[in-house]
Amino acid sequence: MFDSMFNALNQQQYQQGQHDRDAGLLPQSENSTYLEGYLKGRPAGLDGIIQYFPTVDFYLKWKFDKVAPPSA
């Protein structure tokens, strides 16, 4: 039950990112699923992703926070 709700939410955020990308809007969310959807279809590599962060440190914090396991 929760798995399907979580997948539906992820898909919704992903689709919103793609919609905003296609509309030419800058990213409106910091959610990693949203940003993945936003960046899909823009084969700019790391430069295309990092341009939305003020510094490399902010990018690294975002990158590692999204893959880090939750702390107990």
DSSP of 3-68: HHHHHHHHHHHHHHHHHHHHTTPPP----HHHHHHHHTT---HHHHHHTTSSSHHHHHHHHHHHHS
Confidence grade of residue 72 (pLDDT, cut at 50, 70, 90): very low
Q: What is the mean pLDDT of residues 27-47?
A: 78
Residues 46-58: tens digit of each pLDDT: 666 777 788 888 8
Q: What is the mean pLDDT of residues 15-27?
A: 85
- State how far the Cα of 9 lies from the Cα of 2, in Å rounded to an integer: 10
Cβ–Cβ < 8 Å for 14, 33:
yes
